[in-house]
Structure 1
Amino acid sequence: MKGKGSRNKAPLQNSGKLSAWSSFWRFPIVWMIAGAVGILLIDAFFRQLTERVEGIASLILTLIMGFLAILVYKLTMTRLARRSAPEISGQRAGMEAVRGILTGTVFIAGSAVMITALGGYSFQWASSADTSSVLASSLGAALGAAIVEELMFRGLLFQVLVKMGGSSLALAVTSLFFGAAHLGNPGATWWSAFAIVLEAGVLLGAAFLWRRNLWFAMGLHFAWNAVEGLLGLPVSGHSAAGLFTVKANGDALLTGGSFGLEGSIVPVVVSLLISVPMLIAAARNRRVEAGNGNLLVSK
């Protein structure tokens, strides 16, 4: 017959095991990997489905994929990381997304206009293009990439790096990883990867630090890819059947070569002119919030 003391040991041992298991999932690298795997599985599954349909059906599937990916991200943060996820809060989501879309549209359209003015691009309306099909495919591809990549880079990875060394480290490392992730794209070079580090990694990281939410970064990223696709410019090296036929003239440093606009020096310079004020505003916001004892990201 077991004594009273032995009966009390079992609950204590189980409690210890549960505590250790909970601590394991709260370890930043663990919940980051778990969240990333979940998001990538959803993306891969719906990518297979969208390749089998066209038009509005493909866009609807992409919207469903985005909703589920965001849900996985939120569950990862609240259930595994045991933290709130204000960066993906529904409050002001629409307003922030629209701001990001406007910023991205001005950035990419403005860069294309500058390159055209310098003689790098010439555009001609693609009269044979199916406008509705081009719109659906361009918007769907841009939306899927924006949601998944922002959840992965400015969401999971950024948050882990903030916990490890602060927002400056997070900005630097996520920017480098983002550039490296595009090295395998068609037409990629070491220069194009470096350009992506500055014009995409730094800009999107600055956007997140400034606005303190993923909606703005997603909107900016979405508009970036969508405008490129609709103009008929390669999106990070991937050819796009846009509404225009584009002819590139001159040096690849101006036109971006086969990698597309993102390999041009023009958007690199323009992005830095946008990123620097964002980073200054973000630093000012952090000082104010630190003084108030309310800080979302540190250092």
Structure 2
Amino acid sequence: MSSTDVSPSAAGLDIGSRRFLHPGPLRWLRCLGWAVLLFFVFGLTDAAGSIFPEKLFKAQGPLIALATLVICLAGFALYAGLVRLAEARWPSELALRPAATELAIGLAVGAAMLSVVVALLVASGLYEVTGPRASSPWNMISVGVVSGFMEELIFRAIVLRLLMRAFGIWPALALSAALFGALHLSNPNATPTAAIAIAVEAGLMLASFYLLTGRLWMSIGVHAAWNFTQGWIWGARVSGIPVKESLYLSAPRAGAPDWLSGGAFGPEASVPAMVVGTGVAVAVLYWAWKRGNFRAAA
């Protein structure tokens, strides 16, 4: 992984253009094949980060978060090596120099966004919040780490980037967001409405931060903090999954319409989340477009 800060410019986004992605016949098919292979490899890495620390290594407390982070960083190193071999480049999307700053910004933005969503749900009478109470944050930190690092690698650096190289920015945004939403249909209490909400408010929103910077760090921070804040701080269901421990406990009020509150899926399927997530997505996508990052570098 290069430590060079490769800043986006009017030349377009660096999404790979050599070796396996070189211009020529059937480039789109080569992009799709490479995307499918990487999706499979790092889908397994994502599963390892979710399962191994607790089930195989019996890690608890801080160790579960540390073990998860180590697996994710190993996955990033593997991705960098595969991209170097297949695309003849060190991935600028993993440039290390801006990582700390962009992660910190992303964490702050993600926590603020989810807290605004909960505040709107409470203010509109759709949710009630109780607590605080004693609890450990480590399991939810682990969830935030694996979802932030691995899902952003898979859906932004692999799916969005390679679809953009194959078909251009608009099909790439639409298809990657739709896939992100559709895969959440396997979650508990998922509905078509929830999948659409995830596609729009999260799929497009998280893509916008990658397109803005040309790197994953900010979208990783937003994704991780969104899930951690939702799960541990506010104790709401995370994409339909109930949390084990939380500082507060948040739930829809009796009689609150599911289409407004998100129902059993949690805040992510609520109208406030749609408004906040979509608003941020539109603003950041516009900013990325103004920076020239809706174009691929040659």
Please report how far the alpha carbon of residue 44 of structure 1 lies from its aligned counterpart in structure 2 after TM superposition: 3.0
Give the Cα–Cα distance (whole angstroms) in 2 for the partners of residues 123 and 24 of structure 1.
50
1:161 is aligned to 163
Q: What TM-score does the superposition give when structure 1 sets the normalisation length?
A: 0.83
Residues 141-152 of structure 1 mapped to structure 2, 5 A cutoff: 141-152=143-154
Q: What TM-score does the superposition give when structure 2 sets the normalisation length?
A: 0.84
Which of the two has higher C-alpha Rg? 1
Greater RCO (CA < 8 Å, at least 6 residues apart): 2
Residue by residue over 1:210-261, the C-alpha shift from the partner in whole angstroms, topping out at 9 and shown as x without a partner, is 1221001100000110001111100000001311222311111222100000
1:41 is aligned to 44
| Aligned amino acid, residue 53 of structure 1 | A
Cα separation, partners in 2 of 1:153 and 1:24, compared to 1, 3 Å: closer
Give the Cα–Cα distance (whole angstroms) in 2 for the partners of residues 66 and 271 of structure 1.
26
Name segments (4+ residues, structure 1) moved above 6 Å: none
What runs of 5+ residues in structure 2 fail to find an aligned partner? 1-18
Residues 248-267 of structure 1 mapped to structure 2, 5 A cutoff: 248-249=252-253, 250-267=256-273
Determine if contact 1:50/1:62 at 8 Å carries over to the other structure: no
1:96 is aligned to 102
What runs of 5+ residues in structure 1 fail to find an aligned partner? 1-21
Counting aligned pairs with the same residue, the percent is 27
Give the Cα–Cα distance (whole angstroms) in 1 for the partners of residues 45 and 195 of structure 2.
27
Please report how far the alpha carbon of residue 190 of structure 1 lies from its aligned counterpart in structure 2 after TM superposition: 0.8
Residue by residue over 1:85-104, the C-alpha shift from the partner in whole angstroms, topping out at 9 and shown as x without a partner, is 11111021010111111111
Give the Cα–Cα distance (whole angstroms) in 2 for the partners of residues 99 and 199 of structure 1.
19
1:193 is aligned to 195
Determine if contact 1:158/1:171 at 8 Å carries over to the other structure: yes
2:8 is aligned to none
Give the Cα–Cα distance (whole angstroms) in 2 for the partners of residues 112 and 31 of structure 1.
39
Determine if contact 2:59/2:67 at 8 Å carries over to the other structure: no
| Aligned amino acid, residue 250 of structure 2 | V
Please report how far the alpha carbon of residue 169 of structure 1 lies from its aligned counterpart in structure 2 after TM superposition: 1.7
Residues 118-137 of structure 1 mapped to structure 2, 5 A cutoff: 118-125=124-131, 127=133, 129=134, 131=135, 133=136, 135-137=137-139
Which one is further off, 145-154 or 248-257? 248-257
Give the Cα–Cα distance (whole angstroms) in 1 for the partners of residues 216 and 273 of structure 2.
22
Among 64, 70, 86, which residue is 2:70 paired with? 64
Among 232, 235, 242, which residue is 1:232 paired with? 235
1:109 is aligned to 115
Among 86, 90, 93, which residue is 2:92 paired with? 86
Determine if contact 1:186/1:259 at 8 Å carries over to the other structure: yes
Determine if contact 1:162/1:298 at 8 Å carries over to the other structure: no
Please report how far the alpha carbon of residue 24 of structure 1 lies from its aligned counterpart in structure 2 after TM superposition: 9.9
2:279 is aligned to 273
Please report how far the alpha carbon of residue 126 of structure 1 lies from its aligned counterpart in structure 2 after TM superposition: 5.0
